[in-house]
Structure 1
Amino acid sequence: MGVHVVARQAPRSTATVFSLSSASSPILQIISSTLDNTLRLDYQAEGKPHSFASFHFPGTNPFSSETWVQLAVSLEPDRLTFFVDCQEAAVLLIESENKINLELPQDVLITLGSTLGKRDSKFSGYLKTAKLSLKAYPRRPWICNNLTEVESLVPSYQIKVVWPFSSDINKVEENDRLKKLERRMGELARVLDMVQNEIDKLQKDDRLQKLEKRTEEVARVLDIVKDEPCCPQPCPPQPCCPQPCCPQPCCPQPCPPQRCTEAKVPDCQTPACNPCPPQPRPPQVCPTQNCKEENVPDCQRRACDGGNRECSACSEENVPEVCEQQPTSCVVNGYDFPNGAVIPGGDPCQECRCVDGNMACSPVRCPALSCHNPVRHTGECCPQCEQCKFQSKVYVNGETFTSKRHPCLQCHCSAGQVSCEHMAASCPTPQCTHPAKHRRQCCPTCSKCEYERRVYTDGTAFTSAGSGSCLQCRCKGGNVLCSEEKCPPVHCSNPVRDPHHCCPVCKSCIIDGVEYEEGSKWQPEGLCSSCTCVDGETLCTPTPCPPTNCHHPTTITGSCCSVCDSCTYNQHVYSNGQRFTLPDHPCYICTCQDGTVQCETQLCPPLNCRGSYTPPGECCPRCPGI
């Protein structure tokens, strides 16, 4: 595999240039630091999935020059080659037990300019070119005029990495894995091409469907204009009736003028005079009758909606019924209301209508309210809810809020009713493998880790409950990294396995090569102390002794406790009542009395001679010759 980048890194920065990661941890990463002038490669060796090896690029970090740098890294299981600008290639051999693991998992993620899940790894600077090759580079992927011959890539360095354990992988297995990797990368490339083709096809189909739909709409409009010479148009509200409605042309042919009492005009809607205030309608005069007018009482006051009819006889009994229709409209306060129309009144709690010429009123029925304090406005009959009570809290009308119990529910108060919408689908996708939700938050973040239905703070180390106690895990940036715990050797003959611990422990105690069982007791110093084995640890306590009332007690052989029958002074034992002098202070005379030593200064007699002297080991001086 090969990586080729052209980049310029910002000064005093440390960042990842290129990385490969799985869902749980990084696999390979190239890290450049202009702070300490280093360029290094971190990778997983074959057979060691939970351990990382690191080595540095020999020489100065090329990105420290703060100029554009061409860098190509050729990765092979047993060697690593660095190509920097037109410098000599650096070839590094890797020992067989620490070969680079190029067998990538199916969920491998390729990241340029950062390491997945690490916020502080982002590249600071400029990236001009980035290429990934499925095969190693046999030579640098650009032309250098100062290098005329093909580089032989002779190894110039050899890397040795010390691991806590090693495994031997033969050459046949390496070649098989490399071939599998190449086939897998080829399959992934073909899948990506197929997906891109499908996306292009769907985009073309979508544009074609929109164009066809728009064409059909235009065709329907053309058909309507062609078939209907005058489309229906409503007349605007009129100040009163029966004034003629205004002509409303919808095409070159205008609608004819209309009257409220006239028949329906084709292709034009009958005008509606409401909500114009009704006006008193003047009585229509009956046409000339075939009889004497005095023989038709009240003829001048009869008005028919369908038009007046002629009377065919001279007597009132001969007047047609159609001309004696009872009025079906209502006249209230000088205004005429048609049958079934609502008649406005002064009481908002009464609803009145015109029913067969009579005004019928009924009380307004108000809907049931769910709030405790409804509000009634002036001019309205029914009170309204202007507050909502939800989860023991009151919200005003029109307020939008988040549920306290379910942070993903966004709710709205309207007319006393609360409606909620689930917002989890709109959360952004976190850039980590194990994001966690904070309390009273809807969307998960990478500041904590959720693993096996438990939430851990960033940096917390824990033991995986579902994989046994030997799998030690740590939360870091929303990602959970796990590794097997290594058990130290035990030195007892019967170690015990605790279900809450990974490694076996010794419940017995080993002292000077002697093994004591759990709970056993012994006296290593005779009667003066007592020891007990508790959970593999030795706990010793001295034998309790009664208090002594002297300053220089003596411990008798075979006994643990001191007594005041004699005196131990300057590592010498003196019997009770014995007088003695101190070798270093011959002028002090001491006496042992009931375990306490008391000393007093000896008095010397005066001398009547010259040249007196004090013999060694004595207190008083002597005269010469004595």
Structure 2
Amino acid sequence: DRAFVCLQNNTFWKPDSCQECRCHSDDVICEPVICRYPQCDFQKGEVLQIPPNACCPECASGTEGFCQHEGQTHAHGTEWAHTECTTCSCASGKVNCTPKSCPPLYCGRGELAYIAEGKCCPTCVGTGESCSFDGQIYRDGEEWRLNQCSKCVCSNGTSQCFTAECQPVLCTLAVPPGKCCPECVPKPCSVSEKVYEHAEQWKKNVCTTCVCDRGEARCVKQACVPHTCDKYQCCEECVSSKESCLYEGTIRYHSEMWKGPRCEFCTCDGGRVTCWNSECAKVECALVRKGFLFKNIMVTS
């Protein structure tokens, strides 16, 4: 370890990129740099990278092992729906797309397997007469929707349509997206001339979170962890015990990031610890030796 001597009180300096030191009277106080989780989007190919002469990682675009497909970047080992009938996956930079697997279909006597237009998997239809409805031809036994609340079925040449029946309810009504029948709308909350919908959350202050519960505001104050203060520092902060992490005997707070023994960085997110390996950016150095200057030497830290 290097020893530092105070030359002037209240001076600050960085002996290296990962330490911050200051003079307090005749004492030298050095503390490690605290890194914050930069919220990288790993699904889009971003990686943790340590810039030159820096200690904390930043989000950088990474392409090794990632797949580019129709303008989108996908990480190695991920899957996504390409179309309604096709699923794609990324493996070591290569995209593989396969048809969607359909469940086994067992049609009864007098029925046939039939894939309707716009569908991926077959259904069983009858062998009777087809139906003509709004310019479309439907097989016997085939079903189709008129709208969100009505559907029809072809029965041996005859189109039979049905509409969902809604039960009467006594409350403030609204039809949720994707639903046919109206449902009761919970009463909103009015707090300090602001209106919050049911289940909506907001911060009353730094340490208090509120939620609207059917017209009533319910607030919860976060529990504060007691701190042991020395003569140089005494800063309390509110933390949630539910979101803190216990990692190798040390309590880490939510969103806190720290460096592991090598080049990995870990973060506490909602009580769960996740660690990533980081890579170092390339650095261009000028090397001076015996009066000669060598430029453009690539060094990877």
TM tier relative to shorter chain: under 0.3
Which structure shows the bigger proportion of residues in strand conformation?
A: 2
Q: TM-score, normalised by structure 1?
A: 0.16
Which structure shows the bigger proportion of residues in helix conformation?
A: 1
Q: TM-score, normalised by structure 2?
A: 0.28
Max radius of gyration: which structure?
1
